[in-house]
A and B are shown apart, each in its own frame.
Chain A
Amino acid sequence: MSDFDPVEMKRMRWRSRRGLLELDLVLERFLARRFDTLTGDQLLAYRTLLDLPDTDFLEVVNGKVDLDAPELMEIVDMLRAI
């Protein structure tokens, strides 16, 4: 757990609603299993990922594309494993 702004965390929960069912399915599981135990840095990384367009985000989650951003890969790996 972190001292991340609780309002920001609630905003992130809503922003995990996407235009693609594939992402909804993955992020729903992520919210249920991992989200509440993330560290502040991990939450920041997840927030950055949420800003990706849906189509790009899905390609990252599917492992089709890697991001040139090591600080995001920990969360990406969690999403891929879910």
Chain B
Amino acid sequence: MGVPVRRFDAVIVGGGGAGLRAALQLSESGLKTAVLSKVFPTRSHTVAAQGGISASLGNVQEDHWEWHMYDTVKGSDWLGDQDAIEYMCRKAPEAVIELEHFGMPFDRLENGKIYQRPFGGHTQHNGKTPVQRACAAADRTGHAMLHTLYQRNVRANTQFFVEWMALDLIRDADGDVVGVTALEMETGEIYIFHAKAVLFATGGAGRIYSASTNAFINTGDGLGMAVRAGLPLEDMEFWQFHPTGVAGAGVLITEGVRGEGGILLNADGERFMERYAPNLKDLAPRDFVSRSMELEVLEGRGCGPHKDYVLLKLDHLGPDIINQRLPGIREIAIKFAGVDPIKDPIPVIPTCHYMMGGIPTNWRGEVVMPKGGDPESRVNGFYAAGECACASVHGANRLGTNSLLDLVVFGKSAGDHMIDYIRGEMPDWKPLPADAAGPSLARIARLDNQTGGEDVAEVRAAMQRTVQSRAGVFRNAANMALGVEEIAAVAERAKFTQIKDKSKVFNTARTEALELDNLIEIAVATLVAADGRKESRGAHAHDDFPHRDDENWMKHSLFFGEGRRMEYKPVHTRPLTVDYIPPKERTF
């Protein structure tokens, strides 16, 4: 049975900020470009970003990209690659101004320049005083970015395949990437997308945790596909917990609330962040605030009947600031926490928010993996950008507002390097391997024929419980070792999931089963990588190894699906043009 083939110069999987920015570059250069997305592009998870995008424009206070770079390196707890970090911070002002020129409606100062607000971890003079660096479009920054980029893409003739789910990466005998398989949800048919270059921009995978700020769609499909195709995942032990998820629901209360003056209180009514971070207080980086909150709870100063959360107080800001500068927050608190923040504080807990790890790339957006002694050999024809990629700019901990920046800077960079590759090295398509769609067809057939298997939702819940309890904010050796065993057992169960609905058209049950295949790969990678790292760094806080160990552990981890083994590779310590920023202890 022949699987239909569609041919493009470039195929992009994902229509969020990263995918759209890359697609724009490719389409505008005249290359035939397809974007596949599970949902309508402007409903990608980027729409959730409220806080803003960082750039050292210096519109409100003096600022320089070198200071932004310092903050990002320090925020990353010295696991970020300093060449990629330099590239991102140096390009940031240009990237934001480009978005402005594309028509993105940023908030403005009276003089017409883009308004910038304070945000956790943004400082002047390498950590001395907070600086206003975050550019926002009210609380709709992500939404505005998606709409702006989507419109430009339509104009540039990007071809959109909406409600198409990519299933597997196609690599040929040389290991080069030559396309993907994808499922058209409306018909249930499988197609091959044959390409000279493929970019993954499939976003994060926060749904491996039970307490998550991520929408249901964040199932990390790109990472699952990469692992199945034999590629490694980098730094998967590092997950950022947002300090202020609504207890019980996961819904995020933006850091902007603390930027505008909201404070965290424990059961004694104490503003405890003053004790942990005398300078930055409630605006210290996220991992630091999350850990401080968790300590308050562990030491018995949590609030509520089970003493398991802390409070975010903002009533002292007054209704005007709350309504004008933080629109939407009040409604969210009322609907999901049952409190009106104009009068009462909001119960919050650290909640899984962002995946620092991902598919290993360099600052050009090229996917790299170890080969013949080179830890970073290019995988021909394969690129990744956005949250699914690990460039690595966020290292062990991402700074707020650096992700939207990552999307546009590395989306564009990947697009540019794909253009060079396609025009310079790929006069023609490489042939598809025989049976290119075989693995995807086999997975679908397995699902259709499975009997006596388990429900998808049950297996997914078991996975989430395991990851939440064994790889959360606090970690120790015994707990993680148990987690590795438990997740292996859950992964076995996932091989036999069963769905009742066997129909072809818009079969959401089937989609969710296929998504679970991806989530499971990521959950396994997370636990194995976390168990492997014997130090504390950024978001990975290891109780038995409470300190950062630069001598032995300043290195990136690489997880391989085959044999579930780990390898490690060096951190890039040479920026592109400036001096290396040597490690220091992170204090705030």
Interface residues of A (CB under 8 A from B): 7, 10-11, 13-15, 17-25, 28, 53-55, 58-59, 61-64
Instruction: Report if B217 contacts A (CB, 8 A).
Output: yes
Measuring CB to CB, which residues of chain B are less than 8 angstroms from any residue of chain A? 38-39, 42-48, 140, 143, 147, 163, 185-186, 212-217, 249-252, 328, 331-332, 334-336, 503, 505-508, 511
Measured CA separation A10–B38 after assembly (Å)? 15
Given contacts A17-B217, A18-B215, contact A53 B505 (CB under 8 A): no
Q: Give me the 8 closest cross-chain CB pairs, A-B, nearest first.
A: A62-B331, A19-B47, A10-B506, A19-B43, A24-B216, A55-B143, A21-B215, A54-B47
Contact yes or no, A25 B505, CB < 8 A: no
Least CB distance, B208 to chain A, in whole angstroms: 15
CA separation between A22 and B337, bound complex, in Å? 12
Q: Provide the bound-state CA to CA distance between A34 and B249, in Å.
A: 21
B39 close to A21 (CB less than 8 A): no
Contacts A10-B507, A11-B186, A13-B508; A25 near B251 (Cβ below 8 A): yes
Name the contact of B216 in the complex, choosing from A13, A17, A58 (C-beta under 8 A).
A17
Expressed in whole angstroms, the minimum distance between the Cβ of A11 and any Cβ of chain B is: 5
Contact B336 A25 (CB under 8 A): yes
Whether A14 lies near B511 (C-beta < 8 A) is yes
How long is the Cα–Cα vector from A59 to B507 in the complex, in angstroms?
29
Q: Is the CB of B331 within 8 A of A11?
A: no
A20 to B45 CA separation, bound complex (whole angstroms):
7
Closest residue of chain A to B43, judged by CB?
Answer: A19
Please state if A21 and B143 are interface contacts (CB–CB under 8 Å): no
A7–B45 alpha-carbon span in the complex (Å): 26
Give A7 Cβ to nearest chain B Cβ, in Å: 5
A14 CA to B43 CA in the complex, in Å? 12
Given contacts A14-B163, A54-B43, contact A7 B505 (CB under 8 A): yes
B394 to nearest A CB, angstroms?
21
Q: Which one of A10, A15, A23, A55 lies within 8 Å of B140 (CB-CB)? A: A55
A7-B506, A63-B331, A64-B328 as given contacts; A18 in contact with B43, CB under 8 Å: yes
- Report A-chain residues with C-beta under 8 Å of the C-beta of B214: 21
Chain A residues near B47: list those with CB within 8 A: 19-20, 53-55
CB of A31, distance to nearest CB on chain B (Å)? 10
Task: Give B245's nearest chain A residue, CB to CB.
Answer: A21
Q: For the complex, give the distance between the alpha carbons of A49 and B335 in Å.
A: 19
Q: Knowing A20-B47, A25-B251, A64-B331 touch, does A53 contact B215 (C-beta < 8 A)?
A: no
Residues of A with C-beta under 8 A to B334: 62
Bound-state CA distance A61–B251 (Å) is 15
Contacts of B328 in A (CB 8 A): 58-59, 62, 64
Contact call B143/A54, Cβ cutoff below 8 A: yes
Query: Do residues A11 and B217 form an inter-chain contact, with CB atoms below 8 A?
Result: no
Q: Out of B48, B212, B331, B336, which one reaches A19, CB within 8 Å? A: B48
Structural contact, A62 and B215, CB atoms closer than 8 A: no
Q: List 15 A-B contacts (CB under 8 A).
A: A10-B505, A10-B508, A14-B506, A15-B39, A18-B43, A18-B217, A19-B39, A19-B46, A19-B47, A19-B48, A21-B213, A22-B336, A53-B43, A62-B332, A64-B331
Residues of B within 8 A of A61 (CB): 335
Residues of B within 8 A of A59 (CB): 328, 331
Q: Which residues of B contact A58 (CB under 8 A)?
A: 328
Say yes or no: B335 contacts A62, CB within 8 Å.
yes
Please measure, in the bound complex, the distance between the C-alpha atom of A25 and the C-alpha atom of B143, giving whole angstroms. Answer: 19
Selected from B143, B147, B332, the residue in CB contact (under 8 A) with A22 is B332
Q: Which residues of B are found within 8 Å of A53, using beta-carbon distances?
A: 42-43, 47, 143, 147
In whole angstroms, how far apart are the Cα atoms of A82 and B281 in the complex?
37
Residues of B within 8 A of A15 (CB): 39
| Whole-angstrom distance between the Cβ of B185 and the nearest chain A Cβ | 6
Given A21-B215, A21-B251, A11-B506 contact (CB < 8 Å): yes
- Write the nearest CB–CB distance from A54 to chain B, whole angstroms: 5
In the complex, A22 Cα to B216 Cα: how many Å? 10
CA distance A79 to B178 in the complex (A): 45
Docked Cα-Cα span, A17 to B216, in Å, equals: 7
Contacts of A20 in B (CB 8 A): 47-48, 215
Bound CA span A61–B331, Å? 10
Residues B45 and A19 in contact, CB atoms below 8 Å apart: yes
Is B48 a contact partner of A21 (Cβ separation < 8 A)? Answer: yes
Chain A contacts of B163 at CB under 8 A? 14
Tell me which residues across on chain A come within 8 A of B140, comparing CB atoms. 55
Which residues on A sit within 8 Å (CB–CB) of B335? 22, 61-62
Closest to A57 in B: B43
Q: In the complex, how many angstroms separate the beta carbon of B160 from the nearest chain A beta carbon?
A: 16
Chain A: CB-nearest residue to B49: A19
Residue of B47, B147, B186 with most partner-chain A CB within 10 A: B47
Q: Which A residues lie within 8 Å of B45 (CB)? A: 19
Chain B nearest CB from A20 CB (Å) reads 5
Q: How far is the CA of A11 from the CA of B507 in the complex (A)?
A: 9
